[in-house]
Structure 1
C-alpha cells in the first residue's frame, strides 16, 4: 500500500512527465555509456542525447547504512523521496521560486548521494547545528532546500549555516505545492 507521501510524489512526477510530453519539450540528456540507468529510453541520438523518463525503483533504496554509520534515524519522507524513482533531477516552480529536485539516476548515484549526505550531517554536527537533509537546489547560489530531520519541515538553508526559513510543514506538503518546469 502506497503512503500519502508516495502518492504526492507520484502525482508530481506524472505532472512533470505530462508537462514535458504535452508541451513537446522532450526529456533529453547526454548519453553516458559509463553511467547506465533504467531512465534511458532507447538509443542515443546522433547528437549524443538520449530520451529519458523517471522510472520506479524495482527494489526501493534504503538509508539504513547512513543511519547506522551516524547513529541517527532519518526522516521517513526524505528516505522515501530518494527510494521511489531513478530519475534525472526534476525542475519545478515552488511558491517561493524555482528549484531543482535532486534525484538518483542509478544505484551508484544513490551511493554518491549517501556519501554526500554523511559528509553534510558530519559538518552539521561539527558546527553544532541541527541535522538537515538536503533534497533540492534553488536558484539562489549556496542555498538548498532541506528537511529538518527533527520536525520534517522543509527549510531553506545556506550551506554551512542554520536553516533560514521554514517553507513547508513537510516534504509531502512542499511537493504538493510544486508545478513542473
Structure 2
C-alpha cells in the first residue's frame, strides 16, 4: 500500500497526542491569535490545553500557484492543509526537528507569504524550487520538499539542498518519532 500524506500525518499526530497525554499538550493562550486548537479559553498568557484539529474546510495553495505560475508538490500541499496545530517536535533518524504547522487561517496566510518569499529567493538565485516544512537544531538549516521530485532535503537557507533525507514526505514522516 502506498504511503499517503494524510495517513502518515494522522498516524504521527495521534502518536504525538498519545505521547503527550501524561502531561497534556499545553500552550499559552492568546486572545489575539484564536485557533480551533485551543480546548478552552483563559486569560492571555495562561497555559491551556490544545490539540491538533482537522481543517474544515481545508485551505488551498491555489492562489500561490496562480501568483507564481508554479504547480506545488501535492504532498506538500496536503501536509499544510490537513491540520490546524502548533508546530510538532519530532526525532528523525538524522536528529531533532520541528514540523511547521498552521495554527489558524491567519497563520496559513502567513505561511503562504513566507513560501512566496522563499520561492522568489530561489528564483533569484537561479535554484530549483524547494518548499520548506520543518526546522532543525542546526541554525540556518531547514527541511524542504524538492518541488519537482517530492524528495525531502536538508537545506541551508539560500543554498541548494545539502542532502536528500527521504524519497518522499510520506516516507520521511513515517521515520519520525514524536517528542511532545
TM-score by length of 1: 0.95
Give the Cα–Cα distance (whole angstroms) in 2 for the partners of residues 147 and 5 of structure 1. Answer: 13
| 1:157 aligned partner | 155
Q: CA shift at 1:45, angstroms?
A: 6.9
| 1:43 aligned partner | 41
Q: 2:71 aligns with which of 70, 73, 78?
A: 73
Give the Cα–Cα distance (whole angstroms) in 1 for the partners of residues 138 and 41 of structure 2. Answer: 35
Deviations 1:45-101 (A, max 9, x none): 796111100000010110000000000000001000000000000000000000000
Q: CA shift at 1:25, angstroms?
A: 2.7
Give the Cα–Cα distance (whole angstroms) in 2 for the partners of residues 68 and 4 of structure 1. Answer: 25
Q: Decide whether aligned partners of structure 1 residues 20 and 123 sit closer, same or farther in structure 2, where only a CA change above 3 A counts.
A: same
1:74 is paired with a residue of what secondary structure? coil
Deviations 1:2-37 (A, max 9, x none): x8221111000001000101xx13211110001000
Structure 2: state its 5+ residue gaps: none
1:177 aligns to 2:175 (yes or no): yes
Q: How does 1:8-87 map to 2 (within 5 A)?
A: 8-21=8-21, 24-44=22-42, 48-87=46-85
4+ residue segments displaced more than 2 Å: 43-47
Give the Cα–Cα distance (whole angstroms) in 2 for the partners of residues 5 and 108 of structure 1. Answer: 23
| 1:132 aligned partner | 130
| 1:148 aligned partner | 146
Give the Cα–Cα distance (whole angstroms) in 1 for the partners of residues 11 and 118 of structure 2. Answer: 29
Task: State the Cα RMSD in Å.
Answer: 1.3
Q: 1:103 aligns with which of 95, 101, 104?
A: 101
Q: Decide whether aligned partners of structure 1 residues 160 and 17 sit closer, same or farther in structure 2, where only a CA change above 3 A counts.
A: same
Structure 1: state its 5+ residue gaps: none
Deviations 1:124-177 (A, max 9, x none): 000000100000000000000000000000000000010000000000000000
Deviations 1:84-124 (A, max 9, x none): 00000000000000000000000000000000000000000
Give the Cα–Cα distance (whole angstroms) in 1 for the partners of residues 112 and 53 of structure 2. Answer: 20
